[in-house]
Amino acid sequence: MLADMLEQTDELSSLINDLIETARADEAPRLVDDIRLDELVENCVRRARLTFPGLTFQADLEPTVVEGLSDRLRRAINNVIDNAALHSRSDGLVVISLTDGTLTVRDHGDGIAAADLPNLFQRFYRGKSERSRPGTGLGLSIVKQVADQHAADVSARNHPDGGAEFALRFRSVVPIQTGSDEGSPTPARTTPSTGR
């Protein structure tokens, strides 16, 4: 009984957090920062490795700078990676790639049912196979909401070689150049970003 109560408490806490995050769509715009997206994704991957120790997370991340809010982007990226992990086999592989301003996350699970594909990013939507699992049905809608706020497109498909693949394509990427002193990539602020 105690275990059931703890599980229900965790689900309620998750629902409250997701509802708060969803409500933030109506917030007034805040000042954005230049964010090293590759470093943010790497932090999310590190978290996922701790949360899902049985899975293998393979990441290939190109240095990328976007304008945005780091806390919101972190939430969206965590949601996509967690979604891939939850749909992987117990010893599965999750492949994460960031190149040309596009973040892709692919699992090697059973893929997405054709009937679910058009509805994945709707609030509270849960596919037939998901209704027996814990969850709020808000995780992917939050991803869509954050994408909209960051001039990004989000999509999902079944990968030709199996599993599901989610992509976040940022239309506004800040060009970066190699710093002359330390050799590390830095935003090239002399070149304005586009699409904002």
Contact 120, 128 (CB under 8 A): no
Report how far apart, in Å, the C-alpha atoms of 94 and of each of 77, 109, 126, 129, 164 are. Answer: 13, 9, 22, 20, 10
Domains in the chain: boundaries: 34-178
Average pLDDT over the chain, rounded to an integer: 81
Query: Which of 78-82, 148-152, 186-190 is predicted with the least confidence, judged by mean pLDDT?
Result: 186-190
31 or 27, greater pLDDT: 31
What is 34-178's CATH number, 3.30.470.20, 3.30.565.10, 3.40.50.1980, 3.40.250.10?
Answer: 3.30.565.10
151 or 195, greater pLDDT: 151
Tens-digit pLDDT profile for residues 54-66: 999 999 999 999 9
Contact 127, 113 (CB under 8 A): yes
Edge-first strand listing for the sheet containing 33-36: 33-36, 65-68, 173-174
Q: Which residues of 143-164 are buried (b: 16+ CB within 10 A; e: fewer)?
A: bbbbbebbbbebbbeeeeeebb
Q: Does residue 10 register a pLDDT over 60?
A: no
Q: What is the pLDDT, as a whole number, of residue 175?
A: 74
Q: Does residue 26 register a pLDDT over 80?
A: no
Torsion of CA 51, 57, 63, 66, to 10 degrees: -50
Alpha-carbon gap, residue 95 to 187, rounded angstroms:
27
- Give 169's strand partners: 102, 153
Q: Does residue 156 register a pLDDT over 80?
A: yes
189 pLDDT band, cuts 50/70/90, is very low
Q: What is the pLDDT, as a whole number, of residue 18?
A: 55
Please state the pTM of the whole predicted model.
0.77
Q: Which residues of 89-114 are buried (b: 16+ CB within 10 A; e: fewer)?
A: eeebebbbbbeebbbbbbbbbebbee
